[in-house]
Structure 1
Amino acid sequence: MNKITCKLVLLFFACVAIFSSVQAKVKMSALFADHMVLQQQSEVAIWGWADARSEVNVTTSWNDKSYTAKAAKDGKFKLMVETPAAGGPYEIIVSDGEALTIENVLIGEVWLCSGQSNMEMPMKGFRGQPVLGSNMDILKSNNENIRVITVPRSSQTVAQENFEAKWKVADAAAIRNFSATGYYFGRLLNEMLDVPIGLIEVSYGGSCVQAWMSPETSVAFEGKQVPAPGDTIPVPNRTPTVLFNGMLNPVIGYGMKGCIWYQGETNYQEPDRYEELFPTMVNEWRELWGIGNFPFYYAQIAPFDYSVFYSSEDVKEKYNSAYLRDAQRKALDDIPNSGMAVLMDVGEETCIHPMHKQEGGERLALWALGETYDLPDFSYKSPAYDAFEVKGSQVVVSFKDVANGLTTFGKELTGFEIAGENKVFYPADVFLRTKSVVVSSPRVEKPVAVRYAFKDFIVGTLFGTDGLPVSSFRTDDW
C-alpha cells in the first residue's frame, strides 16, 4: 500500500468515526434501564430522546411486539407498550438505527415512595439515629425480585426531564442506602404477592408539601412566593414547586400501581392549610399521571416534642403537632382511594425520626394488601373515631373498623381529655367497652367535647385487637 492509498484509508476511517459520533445512540430516561420493573398487565409509557424527527422502534421480548414513535423537534419520543402478567427477566430493544438493549427487565408491581426525611431515612439509619433491626434485614436483603431506584435530591425552578440514577437489584449494598419505610413496604408486598416489586424513591428531608406541587397549582396557594425560572431558591426543600420541578417531574407518567407518602412534619405549624394543600397535591399527581385515582397510602406523623423548635410557651398549643395529625386523619375523607398508617405507638420524644421503621412500612403495606390487592381475612385499618354521644356527665365515644374490638394489651388506658362549654380540657376517667369508650371527669358536669392523645408527644394506649393503634383525634373544631 503506497502513502497516498494509506492516507485515503485513514481518512475513510476518520470520516466513519466522525459520522458515528454524530449518529448518537438513542438516550433513555434513567427510569428505563437494566434491572427496571414495569407495571404488570398495563399499557405503560416508555420515553427517551433521539435525533429530531427520527423514527424510534421499541421491541419487547415478552411478546416480540414492535412499537414505533417519531421523535419531536426537541428529540423526545414517547410511546405506550403492553405488559403481561408478572414475570421475567425480559429485554427491551430500542433503536433509531442503532440498537440499545435494556436487559434484566421484570414485570410486576411498581410503587412510588415519596415524602420528607422519614421516607428518605435509609435502612442504615441517619448518623446517631438507628433503624431498629435493620442490620440483620440488610444482611438478608438479597432478592432478585425487589428492585429499587432513588431520584437524587434536586431543587429547581424549571421542570427537569431526567436525572442520574440506576435501578438496583436488592442486596446489602443497595438496600442499606434505600428508604427503610419503602423497603419494608416492598418486602412485605413481595412476600405476600409473590411477584416482582419495583420501588421508586422520590424524597427530600425537611421538605414541605408545597415543594411537591406544580408551579401552576402552587400559585393559587402561594402567589408571588412561587419562584420564576432562574430565581434564587431561598430554601432548597421548603420553597414551593422546586422539588416538583427537580425530582417529581422526571418520573411523572411512569407506569405504577400507586404511591406511599410519609410527610407532614415540616408543615406542623399550619395544619389548617395542610387540610387543603395535601388533598390538592394528591389530586394533582393523579391528574398528571393520567391513570385514575391510583392508591395513595400515607403515614401519619408520629408523636414528637416539637417544642424544641420554638421557645415561647405561648405558642405551645398553637403549634401542637396533634393538629397536623388531625388534618391527616380528616384527609381520609377528602382523598378517594387512600389509607393512613397510624404511628401513635412508635413516636420518640427527642427524635423526629422514629427507629421503628418496619412498623410504618408494613402498616402501609397492609393497606395495599387489603385495599388494593384484596387479600382476605386480616385487618389493615386502624380503628377510627366515629361518633360521640353525651349522656349526662358522660360521653360515649364509638369507633369504626373494630370488627374484633378494642384493647390496651393489658396496660392502663390514658390520653383522653374532656371539656365543657368553657372549652377547658381536663384529664378524663375512661371505661373501655368492646367497640367504644365511656369518658367522664368530676370537673366537667356538662361535657361537649373529647380529645384523645392530643399532645405533641404522647404514647398511644388504645388499639384494635389486631395490634393497629387508634389515631389521636378530637370531637371539637376549636
Structure 2
Amino acid sequence: MIKSIFLSISALLFFQISLAQTQLKLPALVSDNMVLQQSTEISIWGWAEDNNSVKILPSWTQVPVSVKVNNSGKWKASLNTPVAGGPYTIALSSSNESIVLKNVMIGEVWLASGQSNMEMPIKGYRSEPINGNNELILNSKNSNIRMFTVARNSSKDPQEDCDGSWKISSPENTLDFSAVGYVFAQKLNRALNVPIGIIHSSWGGTPVEAWTQKSALNSSVSEQEQSTFNYNRSSTKREQDAPSQLFNGMIHPVLDYSIKGVIWYQGESNRNHPEVYQKTFPLMISNWRALWKNDSLPFYYVQIAPYGRYSGEVNSALLRESQLKTLDLLPHVGMAVTLDIGEYQSIHPAEKTKVGERLSYWALAKDYNIQGIGYSGPIYKSHKIDGEKILVSFDHAPMGLSSYEQPLDQFEIAGPDRVFYPGKATILKGGQVAVSAPQVKEPKAVRYGWSNYIKGTLYNTFGLPASS
C-alpha cells in the first residue's frame, strides 16, 4: 500500500514537472498593462516545450510572427512597434496553449535604478517625508502611466526572470512606487502626451559594483581597487553589496526589454572611495549600454545631495566631483544637481519632486527635442585671475546667474599656500562670478560647495542649481 502511494505521488510529480516544462510561459515584464517602446524593434520572449514553435500576433498588425523554441525551452521573437497608442492585445500560441496579453500600450519606456533615494516611495520612509506627496498621490490617476517594480533579488548567477507586475498609475498604486521615477514619468507624459512605462529596479544602501556585470568588473578594475568595494572591506557581509549580485538578480532579467533610457540615483554608498567610483560608475554605464546593444543609450543621473552626518570632512564633495567628471568621460549622459535640497539630518531629501523634474528636463531636451527649456544647472567652465579676484565662468547660464536673493556664501578662495578662506562672491554679467577674500592678496585657486553639507544658492535663470 505504501509502495503504491509512493508510486502514485512520484507519477503525479513527474506529470506536474513535465507539464511545467511544456507550458507556454512569459517573463513577469511581458504581461498585461505593459508599455512597449514605440517605433522600434522590440523583443518578446519566454519559454515553451523544446523544439516547439510559438506564434505571436499583435493587434496592431495582421501579420503573425513565428519562432522556434530552442533545446533549452527558450524562445525570443522580434516585433516592430507602431507609433505611440493603444490599448492593444498580443496573442501568443504554441501547439498546446495560448495566452492573450491585454491592455498593452505603446509609448516611451525608461528604467529607474539606484539605491535608497531612487527606491524611496511617494509615501516616504518612516519619519522621512516626501514634500507634496499628498497632491502627487491624489492626482496620480492616469491610465497612460504604467509602473513596474522589480522585486529585490540578490543572486550569484544571472537570472532570467524577476518578480513584479505592471501597475496602472492610481492613488493606490503610486503610494509605494519610486517618487523620483513617478515624477519623471509624469513629466514626460504631460510634455509628450504619450504613454510612459517606468521600470523601477533599486535597493537601498547598495554600491555601484553590485549593479555591474562581473566580467566588466574583472576586466577593468584592478584587484587593489576591488579591495575597496564595500563587501570586500566590511566585517558585516551583506549579500546585496557583493559585486554583480544586483546586476544578476535585478538588471539581467530586464535586458531583453527595449527601453528608451535610464535614470539613476546612487553614490552615497561609494562615498568612502570616490577615486574608485570615478572608474566604476562610467564602467557600469558602458556595461549596460553594451548589454542593451545601444552605445548611445541615454543615461541621466543625480549628483548626490549634501548631507551633514557623513564621516570625513569632504567625502561627499569628492564623490560629487567624481559624478561631475563623468559628464566629460561619456557621451549621452546628463546630471541633475541637488546641491540646494540636501538635509543636514537626513540622507533622504524630501524634495524628490525637484529631482524627478530635473531628470526629466535632460530627457525632454536631449531625447525629445523640446526647445527653450533649461536642462542643466551651471557647470564650471574656466577661471581667470584678475588682481585680487578670481573670475569664474560657467556653462549652461545663457541668461546669466542668480542667487534668487539668497546669500552666496559657498565660495572659497586660496593663495599660493592653498589655504582656503570664505570668499566674497559677486555675480557678474555673462555667467561669471567674482570671488575675493581679504586674507588672499595673490589668489591661485577657487572652489564652490566643497563640503559634505552645503546649501547651494547659485543658479541659472531657469532655477537649476550649480554643481559643486
Q: How does the TM-score come out when normalised to structure 1?
A: 0.90
Report the CA distance between 1:237 and its aligned residue.
2.7
Q: CA deviation at 1:253?
A: 2.5
Q: List per-residue Cα deviations over 1:177-218 (Å, max 9, x = no partner).
A: 100000000000000100000000010100100001111012
SS in 2 for 1:187: helix
**Which of 244, 266, 269 does residue 263 from structure 1 map onto?**
266
Residue identity matched to 2:442? K
> In the alignment, residue 447 of structure 2 is paired with which amino acid?
R
Per the TM alignment, residue 306 of structure 1 is displaced from its structure 2 partner at its CA by 3.6
Structure 1 residue corresponding to 2:294, chosen from 291, 295, 315 = 291
Partner of 2:388: 393
Task: Give me the whole-angstrom Cα distance separating, in 2, the residues matched to 1:102 and 1:85.
Answer: 19
Q: After alignment, is 177-186 or 298-307 more displaced? A: 298-307
- Structure 2 gaps of 5+ residues are 1-11, 231-235
- The residue type equivalent to 2:64 in the other structure is S
Paired amino acid for 2:437: S
CA contact (8 A) 2:411 2:447 kept: yes
Q: In the aligned structure 1, how far is the partner of 2:385 from the partner of 2:20? A: 79
2:71 aligned with 1:73, yes or no? yes
1:82 equivalent to 2:80? Answer yes
Most deviating of 321-330 and 62-71? 62-71
1:328-371 residue CA offsets vs partner (Å, 9 max, x unmatched): 11111112111111111110001000000000001000111111
Alignment counterpart, residue 303 of structure 1, candidates 303, 306, 329: 306
How many Å separate the matches in 2 of 1:283 and 1:102? 33
Tell me the SS of whatever aligns to 2:134: helix
8 A Cα contact 1:253 1:290, kept in partner: no
Q: What aligned pairs does 1:12-51 form with structure 2 within 5 A after superposition?
A: 21=19, 24-51=22-49
User: In structure 1, how many angstroms separate the alpha carbons of the residues matched to 2:21 and 2:215?
Assistant: 38
Structure 1 distance, partners of 2:91, 2:449, is 56
Pairwise CA distance, 1:24: 4.0
Would the aligned equivalents of 1:222 and 1:240 in 2 still touch at CA under 8 Å? no
In structure 2, do the counterparts of structure 1 residues 452 and 22 end up closer, same or farther at CA, with 3 Å as the change threshold?
A: closer
Query: Which residue in 2 is equivalent to 1:451?
Result: 447
Alignment-derived partner of residue 136 in structure 2 = 137
3-state SS of 2:342 partner: coil
TM-score scaled by length of structure 2: 0.92
Change (3 A) 1:49 1:19: closer
| 1:7 match | none
Alignment check: 8 A CA contact 2:23 2:47 kept: no
Q: Distance in 1 between matches of 2:104 and 2:286?
A: 30
1:202 and 2:205 aligned: no
Q: Deviations over 1:407-452 (max 9, x none)?
A: 0111221100011221211111112112101111121222211110
Report if aligned partners of 1:298, 1:339 keep a CA contact under 8 Å in 2: yes
- The corresponding residue for 2:341 is 346
For residues 52-74 of structure 1, the C-alpha deviation after alignment (integer angstroms, 9 at most, x for no partner) is 12111111111122111111221
Q: Which amino acid aligns with 1:322?
A: A
**Matching residue of 1:10:** none
Distance in 2 separating the partners of 1:65 and 1:453: 59
Partner of 1:329: 324
Whether the aligned pair in 1 keeps the contact of 2:116 and 2:202 (CA below 8 Å) is yes
CA contact 2:23–2:49 (8 Å) conserved in 1:
no
Number of the residue aligned with 2:6: none
CA–CA separation in structure 2 for the residues paired with 1:139 and 1:120: 20
C-alpha contact 1:253 1:289 (8 A) present in aligned 2: yes
Match of 1:313 in 2: none
Structure 1 position 116, deviation (Å): 0.4
Aligned counterpart, 2:459: 463
Q: Tell me which amino acid in the other structure corresponds to 1:430.
A: A
Counterpart of 1:430?
Answer: 425
Aligned-pair CA distance for 1:302? 0.5
Q: Secondary structure at the match of 2:347?
A: coil
List aligned pairs for 1:241-260, cutoff 5 A: 241-260=244-263
> For the Cα contact (< 8 Å) 1:46–1:79, is it kept in 2?
yes
Distance, in Å, in 1 between the alignment partners of 2:388 and 2:111 is 48
Change (3 A) 1:437 1:167: same
CA–CA separation in structure 2 for the residues paired with 1:109 and 1:18: 39
Distance 2:71 2:21 in 1: 16
Counterpart CA distance in 2 for 1:457 and 1:258 is 31
**Local SS of the residue matching 2:64:** strand
Amino acid of the structure 1 residue aligned with 2:112: C
Kindly provide the amino acid, as one letter, of the partner of residue 274 in structure 1. Answer: Y
Contact 1:418 1:426 in 2 (8 A): yes
User: Would the aligned equivalents of 2:383 and 2:393 in 1 still touch at CA under 8 Å?
Assistant: yes
In the TM superposition, residue 465 of structure 1 has moved relative to its aligned partner by 1.1
Partners of 1:306 and 1:328 lie apart in 2 by 20
Matched, 1:281 2:281: no
Does residue 357 of structure 1 match 2:352? yes
Other structure's SS at 2:241 match:
coil
Deviates more, 1:63-72 or 1:115-124: 63-72
AA aligned to 2:435 is: V
CA RMSD of aligned residues (A): 2.0
Task: Report the CA distance shift for 1:140/1:201 in structure 2 as closer, same or farther (over 3 A).
Answer: same
The sequence identity of aligned pairs, in percent, is 44
Q: Does 1:370 align with 2:369?
A: no
Tell me by how many angstroms 1:246 deviates.
0.8
Q: For residue 123 of structure 1, what is the aligned residue in structure 2?
A: 122
Other-structure match for 1:8: none
How many Å separate the matches in 2 of 1:412 and 1:397? 17
Secondary structure at the aligned position of 2:209 is classed as helix
Query: Following TM superposition, by how much is the alpha carbon of 1:19 offset from its aligned partner in structure 2, in angstroms?
Result: 12
Superimposed CA distance per residue, residues 77-112 of structure 1 (whole angstroms, 9 cap, x where no aligned partner): 112100000000001111112211111000000000
**Does the 8 Å contact 2:44/2:77 carry over to 1?**
yes
Deviation at 1:76, TM superposition (A): 1.1
Tell me the CA shift for residue 18 of structure 1: 8.5
Indicate the residue corresponding to 1:476 in structure 2: none
| Matched-pair contact (CA < 8 Å) for 1:341–1:360 | yes
Cα distance between partner residues in 1 of 2:24 and 2:330: 40
CA distance in 2, matches of 1:75, 1:467: 54
| Cα drift, residue 379 of structure 1 | 1.2
Task: Quote the Cα distance in structure 2 between the aligned partners of 1:83 and 1:368.
Answer: 21
- How many residue pairs are counted as aligned between the two chains? 445
Q: Note if contact 1:119-1:182 (Cα within 8 Å) is conserved in structure 2.
A: yes
1:381 aligned onto 2:380:
no
* Secondary structure of the corresponding residue to residue 240 of structure 2: coil
The DSSP-based 3-state class of the residue aligned with 1:27 is coil
Residue 320 of structure 1: how far off its partner (Å): 2.6
Helix, strand or coil for the counterpart of 1:47? strand
